[in-house]
Amino acid sequence: MKKYNAFYSVPYVLWLLLFVIAPLLLIVYQSFFNINGQLTLSNYQTYFGSGTYLRMTFNSIWYAFIITLVTLLISYPTAYWLSQTRHKQLWLLLIILPTWINLLLKAYAFIGIFSQAGAANHFLEFIGLGSQQLLFTKTSFIFVAAYIEIPFMILPIFNAIDELNPSLINASRDLGATNWQTFSKVVFPLTLNGVKAGVQAVFIPSLSLFMLTRLIGGNKVITLGTAIEEHFLVTQNWGMGSTIGVVLIVAMVVIMFATGERRKKGGHRE
Amino acid sequence: MKRKWYDWRNVYLWLVFLLLYAPIFYLIFYSFNAGTTMTHFTGFSWQHYAELFADTRMIEIVLDTLLIALLSSLLATIIGTLGALAIYGIKKVWLKNSILSLNNILMVSPDVIIGASFLIFFTFLGLRLGFSSVLLSHIAFSIPIVVLMVLPKLSEMNHSLIDAATDLGATNLQVLTRVVFPFITPGILTGFFMAFTYSLDDFAVTFFVTGNGFETLSVEIYARARQGISLEVNALSALMFLFSLLLIGGYYFIEQYNSSKKERRRNRMEAKLIK
């Protein structure tokens, strides 16, 4: 098979060079050019010098953190109790099913639900809180982002819990641990890898959800992704956009090292 | 562990399911609205479906989207499968690992980064933005998932199968087509399927590289959603929901078929061993 190896690696290697390595190098290269096409460091100076960009980056990371936290708090119990049900594979399939619906359609649904006369406001009136401005607020952005990410958090955690050896739990109970001790000392530490994979799968996309900031956040929230989209497609300042892109890549690498495992979409829909 | 349905843990699960599905059904429910808003249901009607089917521009976009998805997943499957074979053939561990890391870059990168860097790349090459740039991008971001689906199948394969075939005088091509491909077909099919759904789902990358003349469904929905509510989009989403159900059905059918085939083969082998 040796002889053929060189032959069938050609298209793949070409892909690696042209679509993985070249674009990454180009985005770094582009970040050193200003809007007039001159080679400078001014983009980085602007980025680190003016408070606006740093504040935007901090805000974006903060929002991603809140979204990840909300998603984790909802997903962990779901995954845990899901793994105890009888038809767990079927239930899991039902959890994954919404991820097959186009993200934009889900965002669009919330434009209707959160609108002035929408279902969410009807509910608020019903419980006596009265109608509120829901759409185009930061809270609605966090809510919709968490809604979209929940299945991607449940799946890795579910897999980790499912792989857990039940005799460890029995052993812990036999040795006199309370339910809470069993959970905090045995179950949670042993499923931490699933949590890490889930955090990775949620945090990185949350930094770049520009369509949600536009459709749901009403430009009140600006994430790194929104800023990149704005610079590339609206103001046409590719250099600055690339600089923010480089920052996003660095953030991504940091998160990947912090959470250890290198898997995202692959674990998404199994 | 048997629980009553009203056990609070089950109630929690039901609430999560309700949360996950309510928006989708809300969307579909209003597609049958005789009125034009997503807030007041005034009566049942098919009128938005009629509008959708009369909208030739929309139908054209749907067909373009399907064409892109089909072509890109097909090409990505071919390149990805060849890539998996190439990676499988690498003996040096460090080289294999670094190629795998490179392979996964597009899997973990945020969509905006992929979109922006591809936009720079295509402009750098002087390629006109449109059908071809969208197709190339979709092929590019679907290749890694195919590799990841095929590679485990190759590792599962017993190497003595290849040795036996070679010993019995099979040429390299025969080994590949008669031994290797039949074994890894389930992985290839899953990879194709994932690539297809990635392409259908993608918005951000397409949005960056699509230019002015060409649109896919996601880009069109985004444009319409920015203008506000149009129940034609609801009708479309109901149809897309049905389509996803069909796709999932197809996918599980393939999986089921593969596993039952494997099962049968195993049973047959065991039966032979007992004899």
- DSSP, res A263: -
Mean pLDDT score across all residues of chain A: 88
Local structure of A33: helix, strand or coil: strand
Question: Rounded to 5 degrees, what are φ and ψ at B269?
Answer: -65, -45
B116 and A210: CB-CB below 8 Å?
A: no
The band of B273, judged by pLDDT with boundaries at 50, 70 and 90, is low
A117 and B40: CB-CB below 8 Å?
A: yes
Cα A108 to its chain centre, rounded Å, is 19
Mean pLDDT score across all residues of chain B: 88
Task: Indicate which of B27, B108, B135, B142 best probes the interface with A, i.e. most A CBs within 10 Å of its own CB.
Answer: B108
Look at the alpha carbons of A210, A216, A219, A220 in this order and tell me if their dihedral is positive or negative. Answer: negative
Q: d(Cα B132, Cα B153) in Å, to the nearest integer?
A: 32
Domain boundaries, chain B: 8-249
Other C-beta atoms within 10 Å of A84: how many?
13
Chains A, B: CB pairs < 8 Å: 245
Q: Is the pLDDT of residue B152 over 50?
A: yes
A21 and B102: CB-CB below 8 Å?
A: yes
Task: Indicate which of A4, A15, A144 best probes the interface with B, i.e. most B CBs within 10 Å of its own CB.
Answer: A15
Q: Is the pLDDT of residue B41 over 70?
A: yes
CB B210 within 8 A of CB B153: no
pTM: 0.87
Chain B contact for A84, CB < 8 A? yes
pLDDT tens figures, A6-50? 777 899 999 999 999 999 999 999 999 988 888 888 999 999 998
Chain B contact for A136, CB < 8 A? no
CB B59 within 8 A of CB B122: no
Non-local CB neighbours of A128 within 8 Å, separated by 6+ positions: none
What residues of A are in contact with residue B86 (Cβ under 8 Å)? 5, 8-9, 12-13
Closest to B52 in 3D by CA, of B272, B224, B266? B224
pLDDT tens figures, B83-100? 999 999 888 899 999 999
Length of chain A: 270
Q: d(Cα A196, Cα A188) in Å, to the nearest integer?
A: 12
Between helices A238-259 and A42-49, what is the axis angle to 10°? 60
The band of A269, judged by pLDDT with boundaries at 50, 70 and 90, is very low
Local structure of B33: helix, strand or coil: strand
Minimal CA separation from B264 to chain A, in Å: 22
Question: Rounded to 5 degrees, what are φ and ψ at A39?
Answer: -75, 115
* DSSP string of A87-147, one letter each residue: THHHHHHHHHGGGGS-HHHHHHHHHHHTSTTSHHHHHHHHTTS-----TTSHHHHHHHHHH
pLDDT tens figures, B158-199? 888 888 998 998 888 888 888 899 999 989 998 998 899 899
Q: What does the pLDDT read at residue B270?
A: 67
- DSSP, res B128: P
Q: Is the pLDDT of residue B274 over 70?
A: no
Question: Rounded to 5 degrees, what are φ and ψ at A118?
Answer: -80, 180
Query: Which residue's structure tokens are 């040796």?
Result: A2
What residues of B are in contact with residue A82 (Cβ under 8 Å)? 13
Q: Is the pLDDT of residue A266 over 60?
A: no
CB A108 within 8 A of CB A215: yes
Closest to B149 in 3D by CA, of B93, B212, B76, B229? B76
The second-level CATH assignment, the architecture, of B8-249 is Orthogonal Bundle (1.10)
